[in-house]
C-alpha cells in the first residue's frame, strides 16, 4: 500500500474496512495504547474497533482496553500501557479529572497523549484533543426544539424537561451549554416552562449517562408533574442513552394517558435509538461518524510519531485547566427519519438489516 494512498484513505475516514488485512506500511513496530471507557454503549465499541483497524492498517501495534466505566480500572490499564512500552496513548476518559497522576508518568517517559472525544482535565500531559464540535451538538439539539415548537414565531408556552450527561465528562457541559444558550431566552420569557423546576446542570446531569438513571428520573417527573394530564411538549436529551431511558418512561407512564407524544432529542444514532426514531418514539439524533474521528486521531498519531504537522482546527476552545489543548473538531450532523438512509445506510455505517 503506497503511503500517499493510505493518507488519502485515512483522510476520507473510509479506511477501516478498506485496509484491514493489508500489510503494514513501514511504520515499524510502534505501539499505540487505546483506552476506551466502556463496552456498554454501542458507540465506544465502534470507536475502539475503528481505532484498532485503522491503526493496524497504518502499521502500528495496538493495545485496546475497555474499563467498564470504572475509573480505577482505566487508571490501571493506562499504567500498564505506559510500562509495557506504548509510544502514544489515545484515551477516551471515564472521568476527565481522574487521570492527572497517571498521565504524569506518561509525561515523565515522554509519551504523548491524545484525548479522544472527551477532554482530559487538569493535566499538562495532554498533547492533542480529537473530538466533535461538542458545543455545536448542543446548539443543533436546542435549535431543533426551537424550530419544532415555533419558538421564534412567539408560540408557547410549552412544557419541556431536560436531561444531560455525566458531570465528570467535560463534553456534557458543552452539550448542555450549546442547547441552553438557544433555549434559555425562551425559558426567561415564559415560552418554555419546565414544570419540574429542574434546569441547572447539576440537577439535570445523569451519572455515567445511564439509561436506567434517566428513566427513573423521568418516571419521577411524570408522576409529580404530568400525572394530572399536563402535556409534555419536549425533552431535551443530550445523547441517545439518556433519550432511551426517557423514552422507556414515556412509553410506560405517559403515552397512554395523553394525546400527544413529546419531541425528544438525542445524539450518537445508536441502533436502538434509530429504531425508536423510525417508530416515532424519538425525534432526532446527532450523527457523529466514529470512522471520521478515528481517522483524524490516527492522523494525529502518525504525525506525532513521524514528527510532522498534526491536524488541528481549534486552538482556543478547549482549556483543560492547565493548558489550551490543540484540538481537531469534526462536524456533527443532524439526523432524523428523513435523512437516516443517506447518512447511516448508504454511507455504510449500518446495514439496512441492523435497523429492522
Ligand atoms: C460522547 C457522546 C456519548 C456520551 C456517553 C460523550 O462523551 O461525546 O457521544 O453519548 O459520552 O457515552
Instruction: Report d(CA 245, CA 235) in Å as an integer.
Output: 12
Q: Reply yes or no: is the peptide bond before residue 267 cis, omega within 30 of 0.
A: no
Strands 31-36 and 285-287: unpaired
Mutate to test the pocket of ligand 1, among 168, 239, 244, 271 (most ligand atoms within 8 A of CB): 239
**Per-residue pLDDT tens over the stretch 151-194:** 999 999 999 999 999 999 999 999 999 999 999 999 999 999 99
Q: Which three cell numbers stand for residue 250?
A: 414515556
**Average pLDDT over every residue of 29-43:** 96
In eight-state DSSP terms, residue 343 is I
Q: Whose CA is nearest to atom 3 of ligand 1?
A: 239
Average pLDDT, the chain: 93
Tell me which residue has cell 490543540.
326
Domains along the sequence of the chain with CATH: 2-132+289-325 (3.40.50.2300), 134-287 (3.40.50.2300)
Q: Whose CA is nearest to atom 10 of ligand 1?
A: 239
Q: Whose CA is nearest to atom 6 of ligand 1?
A: 171
**Across 28-37, 79-88, 322-331, least confident range:** 28-37
**Average pLDDT over every residue of 47-72:** 97
**Average pLDDT over every residue of 195-202:** 98
Taking the centre of ligand 1 as the mean of its atom positions, its distance from the CA of residue 259, in whole angstroms, is 32
Q: What pLDDT sits at residue 17?
A: 35
Nearest atom within ligand 1 for CA of residue 41: 12
Nearest atom within ligand 1 for CA of residue 118: 7
73 backbone φψ class: left, alpha, beta (φ>0; ψ -120 to 50)? alpha
User: Of 329, 331, 320, whose CA–CA distance to 300 is shortest?
Assistant: 329
Write the DSSP string, 35-90: EES-SSSHHHHHHHHHHHHHHHHTT-EEEEEE-TT-HHHHHHHHHHHHHTT-SEEE
Taking the centre of ligand 1 as the mean of its atom positions, its distance from the CA of residue 154, in whole angstroms, is 33
The answer to whether 86 and 32 have CB atoms below 8 angstroms apart is yes
Q: Whose CA is nearest to atom 5 of ligand 1?
A: 209
Mutate to test the pocket of ligand 1, among 74, 118, 165 (most ligand atoms within 8 A of CB): 165
**Per-residue pLDDT tens over the stretch 219-265:** 999 999 999 999 999 999 999 999 999 999 999 999 999 999 999 99
CB atoms within 10 A of CB 28: 11
Is residue 12's pLDDT more than 90?
A: no
Instruction: Report d(CA 344, CA 123) in Å as an integer.
Output: 36
Residues at CB less than 6 angstroms from ligand 1 = 41, 43, 117-118, 165, 169, 171, 209, 239, 241, 267-268, 288
Nearest atom within ligand 1 for CA of residue 241: 10
Taking the centre of ligand 1 as the mean of its atom positions, its distance from the CA of residue 263, in whole angstroms, is 21
User: Of 233, 231, 237, whose CA–CA distance to 217 is shortest?
Assistant: 237
Taking the centre of ligand 1 as the mean of its atom positions, its distance from the CA of residue 239, in whole angstroms, is 7
Amino acid at each position: 500500500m503506497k503511503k500517499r494512498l493510505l493518507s488519502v484513505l485515512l483522510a476520507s475516514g473510509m479506511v477501516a474496512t478498506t485496509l484491514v488485512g493489508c500489510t503494514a506500511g513501514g511504520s515499524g513496530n510502534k505501539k499505540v495504547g487505546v483506552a476506551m471507557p466502556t463496552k456498554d454503549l454501542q458507540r465506544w465499541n465502534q470507536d475502539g474497533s475503528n481505532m484498532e483497524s485503522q491503526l493496524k492498517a497504518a502499521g502500528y501495534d495496538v493495545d485496546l482496553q475497555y474499563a467498564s466505566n470504572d475509573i480505577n480500572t482505566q487508571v490501571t490499564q493506562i499504567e500498564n500501557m505506559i510500562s509495557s512500552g506504548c509510544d502514544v496513548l489515545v484515551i477516551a476518559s471515564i472521568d476527565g479529572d481522574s487521570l492527572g497522576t497517571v498521565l504524569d508518568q506518561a509525561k515523565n517517559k515522554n509519551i504523548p497523549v491524545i484525548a479522544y472525544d472527551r477532554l482530559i482535565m487538569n493535566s499538562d500531559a495532554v498533547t492533542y484533543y480529537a473530538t466533535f464540535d461538542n458545543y455545536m451538538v448542543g446548539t443543533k439539539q436546542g435549535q431543533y426544539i426551537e424550530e419544532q415548537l415555533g419558538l421564534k414565531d412567539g408560540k408557547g408556552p410549552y412544557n419541556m424537561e431536560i436531561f444531560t450527561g455525566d458531570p465528570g465528562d467535560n463534553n456534557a457541559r458543552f452539550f448542555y451549554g450549546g442547547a441552553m444558550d438557544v433555549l434559555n431566552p425562551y425559558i426567561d420569557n415564559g415560552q418554555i416552562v419546565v414544570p419540574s423546576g429542574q434546569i441547572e446542570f447539576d440537577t439535570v446531569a445523569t451519572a455515567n449517562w445511564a439509561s436506567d438513571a434517566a428513566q427513573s428520573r423521568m418516571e419521577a417527573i411524570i408522576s409529580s408533574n404530568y400525572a394530572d394530564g399536563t402535556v409534555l411538549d419536549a425533552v431535551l436529551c443530550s445523547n441517545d442513552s439518556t433519550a432511551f431511558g426517557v423514552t422507556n418512561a414515556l412509553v410506560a407512564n405517559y403515552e397512554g394517558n395523553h394525546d400527544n407524544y413529546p419531541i425528544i432529542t438525542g445524539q450518537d444514532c445508536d441502533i436502538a435509538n434509530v429504531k425508536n426514531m423510525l417508530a416515532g418514539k424519538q425525534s432526532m439524533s446527532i450523527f457523529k461518524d466514529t470512522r471520521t474521528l478515528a481517522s483524524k486521531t490516527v492522523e494525529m498519531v502518525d504525525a506525532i510519531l513521524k514528527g510532522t504537522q498534526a491536524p488541528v482546527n481549534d486552538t482556543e476552545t478547549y482549556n483543560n485547566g492547565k493548558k489550551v489543548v490543540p484540538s481537531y473538531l469534526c462536524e456533527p450532523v443532524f439526523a432524523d427519519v428523513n435523512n437516516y438512509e443517506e447518512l447511516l445506510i448508504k454511507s455504510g455505517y449500518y446495514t439496512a438489516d441492523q435497523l429492522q
